Amino acid sequence: MSEQKRLSEGDPAPDFSLPDSTGKQVSLSDYRGRTVVVYFYPAAGTPGCTKQACDFRDNLAELNDAGFDVLGISPDKPAKLARFAADERLNFPLLSDENRAVLAEWGAFGEKQSYGRTITGVIRSTFVVDPDGKIAKAMYNVRATGHVAKLRKDISV
């Protein structure tokens, strides 16, 4: 596999401004002064992505109480994100990166292994961005199931 960009602890988090499920622009800089979990997932409505999103939904109160906001980003169009959010009663912003530029900048799009084959696609990844806009935690190739529980353990929530 070719070398692709990866973010590490201490790196500045690349800023972005993306439309949410309602079409409203949301920027990472809107969260400056707060800690935010930014997670990248392949496709709204698929089994793994639904499981992961519902895990964030079900743990959001505890994450918020501990000072963590959550943003989900995928290459889906805002209308698909709106249906996904409504169907699953998701209570945090889902952002659309249709051209995959933000995914690539964060190292969450590129070559990956899928069923023994090398393919190009979204690399399921999660980042914790500190109040100063720096990467506090970078996790690539995370599993959809059990990931939020592991994240909570890692960040002591």
Rounded CA-CA distance 48/140 in Å is: 15
Contacts with 116 (C-beta within 8 Å, 6 or more apart), sequence order: none
Compute the Cα dihedral for 92, 145, 75, 2 and give only its sign: positive
Counting beta carbons within 10 angstroms of the beta carbon of residue 38, is it exposed (0 to 12), middle (13 to 18) or buried (19 or more)? buried
Contacts with 27 (C-beta within 8 Å, 6 or more apart), sequence order: 15, 16, 17, 18
Active site residue 49: yes
Query: In the numeric block, which tokens belong to residue 36?
Result: 């935010």
**Options 7, 38, 49, 103, the catalytic residue:** 49
Residue with tokens 């994240």: 151
The catalytic residues are 49
